Structure 1
Amino acid sequence: MKLPIEASDDDGILTKNGTMIYGKEDDAVTIGVQPLKDETGNVSFEGVRTLITINESTASKEYTFAYDLPEGYSLITAKDYYRDIIDNEAVNENDYDTGEVYIVNKDNVIDTVIDAAWAVDANGNDVDTYYVVNGNILTQVVNFDEKTTFPVIADPSAWKIAKLVVLAYAAGDAKKYARHIGGSFKNLCEIILGIDTIKSQCKF
């Protein structure tokens, strides 16, 4: 994953907790990158949290991440991943349009989950935000306005599934299970493996 242009000209500063900070305090935008790793039972998680701090209204509303993916891999929204279920079965489309984005391999197996976009302002109010996928490019749009109190924090976090996908597909077609529980891949994992809670927002 390549960082947005707002961070591309900065070498970054490594903090004590292992987070790389790109940008200075008086910049319109600063970006923090933190590696994530955890193992719960038979499930291994590896991921990255990208904290976008938007400090003022002059900042961009779009933050674009280019993914250098192996051959045959691609980015796909949850809505598009479950498109055959949505189109062919009597289901509520919103149950499958979770806002997540997946990285899938050549066999359409989910390799990485990018959590649904979120953003909050300095008062804790939600700021309208969403992803746009174009090929191997993921853009997070953050629609702050004149009512927004800065700074705004956005966090496009991604977690890679090391063992989970293997177990899920050994149990059968993941989409078959999704028919019964909606489109959230996180919920699908809980059903198949009997996990009560998969740590939310990658905050391990």
Structure 2
Amino acid sequence: MNTTTLRISATALVSAGALLAACAPAAFADSDQTPSQAAARSAVAVERTTGTADIAPGTAGTVPATAAGVITSSADDGSTIGITLPASGKARGVATGNGTVVYPDADGSSALAVQRTTGGGVRALAVISDASAPKEYRYGLDLPAGATLQQQEDGSVTVMKEGEALGAFQAPWAKDANGTAVPTSYRVQDGALVQSVAFDAGTAFPVVADPTWAGFKKRAKNALKSSNRSTVAGAVGGCIVGAVSTAGAGCGPGAAVGAIGGFAKGAVEGFFK
């Protein structure tokens, strides 16, 4: 495949307090805001929606310097996946201290953002400012030779090659400024991933919508790490409950039950995160 990976500096936008103060939803689409204010507001909207716990530190090697560049990530067979943002301009990326890279006003009515994740994947996000914005966002894909896209019943899209899954774009989601889900879906068109977001004039803006790419092996590894953490927490909690329980189960049995529950909970959460 032929992609060029650029590097950007991880420069914090502004302090967290200033970001929060700048991001009043009612004024989100203010046309008088400066580029730095627009980036700050978009960053807060994104990180408030996604959280920051699973954002991988650093940006070099996978995140483009401008919205016109190509995001790169790896597939399960070691090949590279290229993702082009739905941008009409060349807005320069600005990185927050948490690792989110924001491209303000990247298509004239929406900002874009990219997050590398600790599971080895990548999130590409559209920050939709108001009801006049486009309802479809087209992400161009540069797939390994011979790979194809296969849509699944849950809305996700799997990259397949010779009968093997190399990874997937997880089921789509979109949330408004109140955290309420906004109807959204993918379709595959001419080798690109198109996300439709069904907002209307009554939607609380901004809306954040996200295709997330991750290889299955990386998701499984992330699930194992999460399950191990939850196993320890479950065992400690189970020991305490067992020791103080009036039923007299004791620390040992309580820890065993807690560990099993913690492992299962962590595995599920880690795989689908």
Per the TM alignment, residue 164 of structure 1 is displaced from its structure 2 partner at its CA by 7.4
Residue 150 of structure 1 pairs with residue 217 of structure 2: no
Residue 159 of structure 1 pairs with residue 214 of structure 2: yes
Match of 1:99 among 134, 148, 155: 155
Q: Deviations over 1:13-72 (max 9, x none)?
A: 1222222111159x631111011233xxxxxxx210112111111111111001111210
- Does the CA contact (< 8 Å) of 1:76 and 1:102 recur in 2? yes
Residue 114 of structure 1 pairs with residue 169 of structure 2: yes
Match of 2:122 among 36, 44, 48: 48
Per the TM alignment, residue 135 of structure 1 is displaced from its structure 2 partner at its CA by 3.6
Q: Which residue of 2 aligns with 1:178?
A: none
- Does the CA contact (< 8 Å) of 1:77 and 1:102 recur in 2? yes
Q: Structure 1 counterpart of 2:164, which letter?
A: V
* Unpaired segments ≥5 residues, structure 2: 1-82, 221-263
- Does the CA contact (< 8 Å) of 1:75 and 1:135 recur in 2? no
Residue 17 of structure 1 pairs with residue 98 of structure 2: yes
Local SS of the residue matching 2:130: coil
Residue 141 of structure 1 pairs with residue 196 of structure 2: yes
Q: CA RMSD in A?
A: 2.4
* Unpaired segments ≥5 residues, structure 1: 39-45, 79-96, 166-193
Residue 197 of structure 1 pairs with residue 253 of structure 2: no
TM-score (normalizing by structure 1): 0.64
Query: 1:13 and 1:109, CA in 2 relative to 1: closer, same or farther beyond 3 A?
Result: same
TM-score (normalizing by structure 2): 0.49
Q: Deviations over 1:120-172 (max 9, x none)?
A: 1112222111001024200000011122111111111111234679xxxxxxx
State the distance in 1 between where 2:139 and 2:198 align.
17
Q: Which residue of 2 aligns with 1:57?
A: 131
Greater per-residue helix proportion: 2
Count residues in correspondence: 146
Local SS of the residue matching 2:187: strand
Greater per-residue strand proportion: 1
State the distance in 2 between where 1:34 and 1:138 align.
18
Local SS of the residue matching 1:199: helix
Give me the identity figure in percent: 34
State the distance in 1 between where 2:218 and 2:138 align.
29
State the distance in 2 between where 1:109 and 1:17 align.
34
Query: 1:112 and 1:121, CA in 2 relative to 1: closer, same or farther beyond 3 A?
Result: same
State the distance in 2 between where 1:129 and 1:163 align.
25
